[in-house]
Amino acid sequence: MESLGDTLWDVVISGTGLQQSLLALALSRSGKKILHIDPNEFYGGPEAAFSLQDAESWVARVSDGTGGLFKSASIAQSESAAGLSSSRAYSLALAPQLIHARSTLLSQLVASRAYRQVEFLAVGSFYIFKPSQDPAQQPSLSRIPSTREEVFSTTAVSTKAKRLLMKFLKFVLDYESSPQQETWQPYADAPLTDLLQTGFKMDAELQTYIVTLTLSLDGKISTKDGLAVIRRHLSSMGVYGPGFAAIYPKWGGLSEIAQVSCRAGAVGGAVYMLGTGIKETETAENEVKLQLTSGDTVKTRMLVRADDNPSDQTGISRLVAVVASPLNALFEAILEGAPRPAVAVIAFPAGSLSTAAAKASEYPVYLSAHSSDTGECPVGQSVLYLTTLATADAKEVLERALDAFVRTTSDGQAAQVLYQLQYEQLAGSDTSGVEGSIFTFPAPSSSLSFDDHTLEPVREAWKKIMGEAAAEAEYMAFEDREGAMDDDDAYE
């Protein structure tokens, strides 16, 4: 058997983040000689999912300055942590992104047959947190109606607001047609709220309902981008079943897709080495020489890696919490025949929270509540992922949002917070780079829903590796391997 150094690899892929792993999937039937390495001892990179013990090790690495785009990571447990189960009972995701049913990612997973190895769960309702104007009363959560049936049945908005909402929802589904473009084109690059206020006469509350559906981290999404995102949400409703527009991969979100993709790469003949990074890179004509941390020296026609250099753009601050409650009220099917959702999304609009110094929150906070059905925590508990743009007050704002949420969803007594993981994720380059035989993926997206633009650099790298053969190959479309399982319904 040839050693690593004796082989001229067609490609060395560094890192097992989602993009690198999808590239391994795309190349899994190519017959190329592929070496796939990762300096981490786990799969998934910035999209990894951790047990409690793995999370501790990761926090230590971030604290040592070897966490790439992550910083300021910390863990806190309740004084009485008796409610926590064993470490492996948890799978806490670094990138808990929901995936809309109309996403190109799902089409590629189906065409490549990789979907059979992933179990998908329904993402349920979206809510708005409403602080109480009366200190004696509890704040509340208001469900956002996003279908015709929900608009008619909701009691959260007035009759006039329902008419405006129905008019807008109908408009969005056909917003690219010539007559509709005349309405929104003058506002294309302006905030979506300008169109909602001026073009549709919506008040601030109704505008918040609409903007929340975009999952915009700053609440200032442009009209052209906002309309595209909302139409994706509306057109995704009912694709895989009634009552939901998005799905979430069980066992840790995008981490599961990354691992399934790497398994496909291994079945296709790729060699995998965890705990192995690159110490030195030496480029020559049509070849890259790599000195690995394992002590091996390898040669490859192409190196594909990820960008982990921070940019000057604003990153995100995240708080992951485990609570001792199943939060059953959030995970109820709202339509007859709909599956029980495993995820619910709650938005805290800008200004709805305040710090101890009475400073109002500058940006929205989004809380994604996950039931034990996701496999991320034991039965009887839930995992909460809270996200906001990174500011000097972000950490405190997230803690305030967590406290407000558990009190709002309690029935007389707030659910106990058993565990908290906090960290910041810095922004990086949003474009791929090619320098000779080295291809660099952009930094991972911090969006709360999967952005299909993430897939474009993967296909770009695939074309470069495949060369002329790319013109005759069908991208991410594979026949069943011999002995593959029968088709199953992958969506639950």
Poorest-confidence range of 43-52, 65-74, 148-157? Answer: 148-157
User: Are 125 and 188 in a shared domain?
Assistant: yes
Average pLDDT, the chain: 92
- Domain assignment present for 476: no
pLDDT at position 313 is 84
Q: Would you say residue 477 lies in a domain?
A: no
Reported as half-sphere exposure (CB side, CA atoms, 13 A), residue 356 has a value of 3
Poorest-pLDDT segment among 35-44, 154-163, 276-285, 438-447: 154-163
> Of 425, 446, 479, which one is at a domain's C-terminal end?
425
419 and 441 both lie in a single domain: no
Both 129 and 227 in one domain: the answer is: yes
Check residues 414 and 490 and name the one with the higher pLDDT. 414
Q: Residue 442: which CATH number?
A: 3.50.50.60
Q: Is residue 93 part of a domain?
A: no
Percent of the chain with pLDDT over 70: 96
| pLDDT reported for residue 145 | 82
Predicted local confidence at residue 484, as pLDDT = 52
CB of 55 closer than 8 Å to CB of 92: yes
- Sign of the four-CA dihedral 306, 308, 309, 311: positive
Tens-digit pLDDT profile for residues 330-385: 999 888 888 999 999 999 999 999 999 999 999 999 999 999 999 999 999 999 99
- Structural domain includes residue 355: yes
Residue 153 pLDDT > 80: no
**Residue 81 domain-assigned (yes or no):** no
Looking at the fold, whether 437 and 296 belong to one and the same domain comes out as yes
Contacts of 208 (CB under 8 A, 6+ apart): 128, 347, 349
Q: Return the minimum-mean-pLDDT range out of 129-143, 227-241, 341-355.
A: 129-143
| Residue span of the structural domain in which 323 resides | 99-249+313-425
- Out of 366, 396, 425, a domain closes at 425
Residue 65 falls inside a structural domain: no
Same domain, 325 and 402: yes
Residue 45 covered by a domain = yes
Domain match, 235 and 272 both: no
Beta strand spans in 59-143 (E): 70-77, 92-93, 99-100, 120-130, 140-143
The answer to whether residues 323 and 447 belong to one domain is no
d(CA 309, CA 307): 6
Question: Average pLDDT for residues 273-296, to the nearest whole number?
Answer: 94
Verify that 130 and 276 share a domain, yes or no.
no
Q: What is the pLDDT of residue 240?
A: 93
In whole angstroms, what is the distance from residue 347 CA to residue 243 CA?
Answer: 19
Average pLDDT over residues 61-90: 90
Are 292 and 51 spatial neighbours (Cβ–Cβ below 8 Å)? no
Residue 492 has pLDDT above 70, yes or no: no
In a domain, 256, yes or no: yes
Number of domains in the chain: 2
Is 130 in the same domain as 113? yes
Is the domain of 350 the same as that of 412? yes
Q: Give 454's contacts (C-beta < 8 A, 6+ positions apart).
A: 18, 19, 105, 444, 445
What pLDDT band is residue 486 in, cutting at 50, 70 and 90?
Answer: very low
Q: Domain check: are 370 and 280 in the same one?
A: no
CATH number assigned to the domain comprising residue 376: 1.10.405.10
Residues 414 and 442 in one domain: no
Least Cα distance to 201 among 227, 169, 164 occurs for: 164
